[in-house]
Amino acid sequence: MLFMEFLFQTLYCFYLNVIIIIGFYQYFAYSQSDMREKVFQKIFPAFGTVNSLILYGGDCPSIAEQVKKRILELHRLFSFFEPESDIFRINKQAGREPVFVHRDTLYVLSRALAFGRETQGAFDVTAGAAGRLWRDAVRSAQIPSEREIAGCRSLSGLGDLILDEAAETAFLRRRGQQVDLGGIAKGYAADETARLLKEYKVNKALVNFGGTVITIGGEQKVGIQNPYQKNGESAAYIVVENKAVVTSGTYERGFFFEGRRYHHIIDPRTGWPADSGLLSVTLVGGSAMELDALATGICVLGEKRGLPLLEKRRIEAVLISDDGEIRITRGLQGNFFMGIK
C-alpha cells in the first residue's frame, strides 16, 4: 500500500493560485488556440534518450533550434560511444597519455569527482567498465561471470581520474579504466538549457531531458513515473515553480533473473547493480546537474544514507522503494499529489 511519511521540517511553502496543465505532444506544436499564450514544443534525440523543450511566447522555433544545437554539441563531447567524443578518447588513452578536452568536459568531470567524494564513492563516473558490463548484460539478459564483475569493479577509482585545469587535459591512470558521464550529463545539459533560455529572455518553459526536468516561470506540474507501469504513466505529481526535478530509477533498464532484478545503476563497491531498496529517486532543487548526480548516487546509497546529503543541500525528494512505498520530504508537503497529472 502506498503511504506518505514526512521527514523534514517545512523548508518553504507554495501557495497555488493557478495550476497549468502541460500536454505532451509527440509532434511539433505551435498553438494559438489560447490567444494569450503561444506554445511550441521541440523533441529531439540526444544522450540516448528523448529530449523535449516546451517554450511559451517569443520567437520559439529559432530559440529551440539554438538550444538543440548546444545540446547536440554537449552530446558529442560526452558520448560514451562516439569515437570523436572527449569521453571516448579519454577511455581509449587510459593508462597511456592525458587527452586534451573541452572546458565543458573538464568542468563536468571535476564536479562529478566532487559528487563522488560527497557520496562516498556511490556516484562514481570512473565505474564505466562495470556500467558497460551491465549494459551488455541488460541487452542480452545474461548475468556476467563473477570474474568479469570483479575485474570491472577493480577498474573504478575516483583517485585515478587526473584532471589538469591548466593543460586542459584528463587522464585515467590505468589501462581498461573508463569514465561514463551517463549519470550527470543530462543534468548539465538541462542547466545549460535553462541558462540559454534566460539569455533569450524566455519567461516560461518546460525542459525534459529523459526525466531530467527544469521548469521556468509559473507553477507547473511534473509527473513522477510509476515504476510498475509503462513509460509515461505517473504514480504521482508535484507542483513546482522554477525548479529542477530529476528522477533516477533502477526500474528503467533491466531484467529479472531467478526472482531478482538486474539493472543499469551500479554499486561501484560491489560491481553489481545497486540493491539499496529504492526503485526510484526524484529530487527537487536548484541545479539539475547536482540533482542528477545525487539521484544516481542515492539509488546506490539508499534512503538512510542518502537523506542526510539532501538535508545538507536543502534538496527535497520523492522516494519509491521496492515494496511500493512512496515517501516524500517535508518540504514537498502541499505540493505532492498522488495519481496521474
User: Does residue 252 belong to the site contacting Mg ion (CB under 5 A)?
Assistant: no
User: Does residue 248 belong to the site contacting ligand AMP (CB under 6 A)?
Assistant: yes
The span of 14-22, 76-84, 233-241, 286-294 binding Mg ion (CB under 5 A) equals 286-294
Quote the least distance from Cβ 71 to ligand AMP, whole Å: 16
Quote the least distance from Cβ 298 to ligand AMP, whole Å: 10
User: Does residue 292 belong to the site contacting Mg ion (CB under 5 A)?
Assistant: yes
Taking the C-alpha atoms of residue 338 and residue 110, their distance in angstroms, rounded to an integer, is: 38
Assess contact for 278 and 320: CB atoms under 8 A: yes
Q: Which is nearer to ligand AMP, 152 or 197 (CB)?
A: 152
Quote the least distance from Cβ 121 to ligand AMP, whole Å: 8
Residue with nearest beta carbon to Mg ion: 296
Q: Which does 125 bind (CB under 5 to 8 A by kind): Mg ion, ligand AMP, none?
A: ligand AMP
Beta strand spans in the chain (E):
29-31, 39-46, 49-56, 99-100, 161-164, 169-172, 204-209, 212-216, 219-225, 234-241, 244-249, 254-257, 260-263, 278-285, 316-321, 326-328, 336-338
Q: Residue with C-alpha cell 530559440?
A: 63
The span of 221-229, 242-250, 261-269, 324-332 binding Mg ion (CB under 5 A) equals 242-250
Distances (CA, A) of 61 to 45, 56, 57, 176, 210: 17, 10, 10, 43, 21
Quote the least distance from Cβ 263 to ligand AMP, whole Å: 9
What number of helices (H) and strands (E) belong to the chain? 8, 17
Taking the C-alpha atoms of residue 48 and residue 149, their distance in angstroms, rounded to an integer, is: 24
Q: Which does 266 bind (CB under 5 to 8 A by kind): Mg ion, ligand AMP, none?
A: ligand AMP
Residue type, 97: E
User: Does residue 86 belong to the site contacting ligand AMP (CB under 6 A)?
Assistant: no
126-155 footprint of ligand AMP as x/- string (CB under 6 A): -x---x------------------------
3-class SS string, 12-49: CCCCCCCCECCCCCCCCEEECCCCCCCEEEEEEEECCE
Residues 255-314 that bind ligand AMP (CB under 6 A): 264-266, 268, 292, 295-296, 300
User: Does residue 290 belong to the site contacting Mg ion (CB under 5 A)?
Assistant: no
Taking the C-alpha atoms of residue 186 and residue 99, their distance in angstroms, rounded to an integer, is: 23
- Burial of 313 per CB tally in 10 Å (0-12, 13-18, 19+): middle
Q: Which of 121, 183, 210, 302 binds Mg ion (CB under 5 A)?
A: 183
Distance of CA 279 to the CA centre of its chain: 15
The span of 144-152, 234-242, 246-254, 320-328 binding Mg ion (CB under 5 A) equals 246-254
Q: Which does 300 bind (CB under 5 to 8 A by kind): ligand AMP, Mg ion, none?
A: ligand AMP
In the complex, the residues that contact Mg ion under the rule CB under 5 A are: 183, 248, 292, 295-296
- Summarize as ranges the residues that interact with ligand AMP (CB under 6 A): 123-125, 127, 131, 180, 182-183, 248, 264-266, 268, 292, 295-296, 300
